Amino acid sequence: MKETNRATQIAQDIYEVKLPLAGSSLKELSSYIIRGKDRSCVIDVGFETEECETILKEALKELEIPIRNTDILLTHSHRDHCGNLPNLYPDAGTIYCSEWDRWQITGEQSDSGKDYLVFSFLKCGIPMALLEGMPKEKDLSSFIPDSKVKTVRDGDFLSYGRYKLKVVDLKGHMPGMIGFFDEEEGILFPGDHVLNRITPNIGFYREENRSLHHYIKNLKKIRNLKTKHVFPAHRGEIRDLAGRVDEILEHHESRLEEIISILSLKPMCAYEVAGKAKWYYKEGNFRAYPVVMKWMATSEILAHLQYLYEKGEAGRSGGVDETYIYYLL
């Protein structure tokens, strides 16, 4: 495969560009460029840093792909996928994303601001004093004009050169998460939906988002797709999609079992359950976690508790302005 300085060819007309994620344990984002005849595209664009901007622009230059003919396909609006948009959109083509992510990146309705964090801390039962320790950076340094963004839905197609990408609804990791699948070529871009070695964080957005329910359903949905290549956003190509899906399903199954056994002690909020659950980061010492990790771990627990609640295996108390307390039924 032909190699240039910034972009590595990984399939016909598809190039991987590794964008460094300074300060993130994810280390880097794999951004994918698909070369078309008149129009090309790039899937996910990295942080807002000068480093990410320069590398991506240099990669396009090396490949002799003009940025004005390049659309941006966004799998979801986490900062490592969308942060770079404000640097790119003035010169680039159209940004395609789900409706939920359009709300986030245009600022129409944002689930990453202070109000959302207060809501999330409250529902999880995380002490509000810890809010101070949350990182101040936002997913986007500035919002994107609505005129640059087009919404795509499950089943829509986007064509670039030899590739006909079908939009696949993959909500779960984030409520607006989408992937792109070329059925004929057997190439899937799942974003963060399925990754090697790490299980994507399943957070809690609003009750109606039912994160874990959707996540599990959408894992099963892609399990048996006929794929030759699966190119996720982090941690390299997935060689055995069904095998990896099964491992992740098993992880959530054992997490649910663990939570049930913790809840058998007494009714608890998500933060209390998280303090008793098994973790791997920092030798599993939850108390020593930086606030952002505590929050991510606890909202993942909340998503599992909600799943048990929706399935009728757990009850829940707590009104609109109160922390949710869960108990076994």
Chain residues that interact with Zn ion, rule: CB under 5 A: 78, 192
Question: Would you say the C-alpha torsion 204, 210, 213, 216 has a positive or negative sign?
Answer: negative
Residue 78 or 294: the one with the smaller Cβ distance to Zn ion is: 78
DSSP letter at 144 equals P
What is the Cα–Cα distance from 173 to 178, expressed in whole angstroms? 10
Residue type, 288: A
Specify the residue, 63 or 248, whose C-beta has the smaller distance to Zn ion: 248
Q: What letters, b where the CB count within 10 A reaches 16 and e where it falls short, cover 157-175?
A: ebebbbbebbbbbbbbbbb
Nearest-approach distance from CB 76 to Zn ion, in angstroms: 6
**Strand-pair category, 178-182 with 163-169:** antiparallel
The rounded distance, in Å, linking the Cα atoms of 73 and 40 is 10
Q: Which of residues 74 and 126 has its CB atom nearest to Zn ion in the complex?
A: 74
| CA proximity to 306, closest of 120, 126, 110, 176 | 120
Buried b (16+ CB within 10 A) or exposed e, 86-120: bbbbeebbbbbbbebbbbbbbeeebbeeeeebeeb
Compute the least distance from the CB of residue 173 to Zn ion, in Å: 6
Instruction: Write the DSSP symbol of residue 178.
Output: E
**To the nearest whole angstrom, how small is the minimum distance from the Cβ of residue 206 to Zn ion?**
18
The minimum distance between CB 79 and Zn ion, in angstroms, equals: 9
Residue nearest to Zn ion (CB): 78
Nearer CB in complex with Zn ion: 78/102: 78
CB of 39 or CB of 244, closer to Zn ion? 244
Please state the closest distance from residue 26 (CB atom) to Zn ion, in A. 9
| Least spacing, CB of residue 257 vs Zn ion, in Å | 26
Q: Is 325 exposed, middle or buried (0-12, 13-18, 19+ CB in 10 A)?
A: middle
Q: Which is nearer to Zn ion, 74 or 314 (CB)?
A: 74
Q: Which two tokens stand for residue 222?
A: 């892609």
Query: Least Å distance between CB 323 and Zn ion?
Result: 26
Nearer to Zn ion, 29 or 259 (CB): 29
